[in-house]
Chain A
């Protein structure tokens, strides 16, 4: 099977401007869902699949909608890894890496340290009365937590955040910029070294981390496989929880009623998390490649076709979510697609849920009294007017400037 880089016969061709898509993809998605739920988009070089039901359908058929994509930038950036594998290889690697990210492990093994780190970061800024909640809090928090869960005791939170950014840039380096490749390579080499060192340490003393778990897996995993999969986890593990934190905090700062509710009833933070992930999904789409001819959304795609499952669009599908563009904690519970579905269901889901909804939001809103958006940092409900919201493959706030009453 070779990758087809043209439209499937019969597929509507829709021109979308990538800069516009980054600024606000939602109007284009609404139009696609209405008129061309499977469309070839030349600027992306893929068919975009945008309706909820079709996306769920595709997710349930991993043997047809394969994760093995030829010419994948992710493969070039980090090498072979579980995100671009199908079962049984995917399953072997996932089973080896997953135990430390399961919810009970998160609660019993990591939560206390997550909380200490959050307090430390808040101690540092509480006296200032102003700051950027992304740069000063969310990013260092999730990066430090990630280092802990992965078992990279030999890396700082800054290292993790920098590596993540360098790899994410490589992963979206469609323009083939040599500087970006160079930075990505430097990051991946540094990760390889750090992982090799910790793999050696945990071989002697298991520590319950992801690296340790992979080193001691019942079904053996090679060092290179551990290295590549740690790269992938660092690539995605920073921006996703960071972006849910940022978007959710920003949504609440504009909705005092919703915020009040969460402050009075801590169980509501869970709803805030799921609704935030639905409303502005940190991962907007992921690629798949067809292993065989298959009809979906009224078009027969030939084997080799490249498809993007646009989960950000599925999460705004009006046929599933009423008033889908609104952030609404009271909407009827319907499963959102933000974590993906099927065998690749987000491995970090339970870590992210806990660090953001049980720790980061409650601590920020209880410790920073009088927290409010900096003047000028406003946005419409759809997020379209927000200057700092950016991205469509990944979407989040690049900054969240706020003020509060400084404490001594």
Chain B
């Protein structure tokens, strides 16, 4: 049961206890995190679940997969080196304490 932290654009923070084996987007949606839209329900086809992984943890989370890499060029907020689609980040206990930043815009 990893805990993940969403830093929102307004400076506030949301802590969500997630279920191992699910994806970060699901944790955001079931935790009611505003700013993760996730229109396509996790199929890497909408680019509205964009997050910036905290740079200190970027290596731990790893790079985007190929399809995701393509979608990341089309996010509403600018793409940065630590940009990921939260629906493609699989959670495990190794990611306990993960911090991600939610961009201003998703659409």
Name A's B-contacting residues (CB within 8 A).
Answer: 59-60, 62, 91, 94, 98, 102-104, 274, 333-336, 339, 341-343, 345, 347, 349-350
Contact = CB atoms under 8 A, between A and B. Distances in A.
A103 B47 CA distance: 10
The range of chain B's interface size is 10 to 19
Given A335-B48, A335-B107, A345 B70 contact: no
B41 A345 contact: yes
B41 A62 contact: yes
A333 B107 contact: yes
Contacts of A345: 39-41, 43, 45-46
Given A103-B71, A333-B105, A333-B107, A60 B40 contact: no
Interface in B72-107: 73-74, 76, 105-107
Given A102-B67, A350-B74, 12 more contacts: A62-B41, A102-B45, A103-B70, A104-B70, A104-B73, A274-B107, A335-B107, A339-B39, A342-B40, A343-B43, A345-B41, A349-B45
A163 to B, nearest CB: 25
Interface string B33-54: 0000101110101111000000
A91 B43 CA distance: 9
Interface of B: 29, 37, 39-41, 43, 45-48, 67, 70-71, 73-74, 76, 105-107
Interface of chain B, helix or strand or loop or mixed? loop
A335 B29 CA distance: 14
Contacts of B71: 102-103
A103 B74 contact: yes
Main secondary structure on chain A at its contact with chain B? Answer: loop
What are the 4 closest A-B residue pairs judged by CB atoms, nearest first? A345-B40, A342-B41, A103-B74, A104-B70
A356 to B, nearest CB: 15
B43 A94 contact: yes
Nearest to B48: A335
Given A94-B43, A341-B41, A345-B40, A335 B106 contact: yes
Contacts of B40: 341-343, 345
B43, B48, B106 pick with most chain A CB within 10 angstroms: B43
A100 to B, nearest CB: 12
Contacts of A333: 76, 105-107
Given A102-B45, A333-B107, A341 B70 contact: no
Contacts of A102: 45, 67, 70-71
Nearest to B44: A102
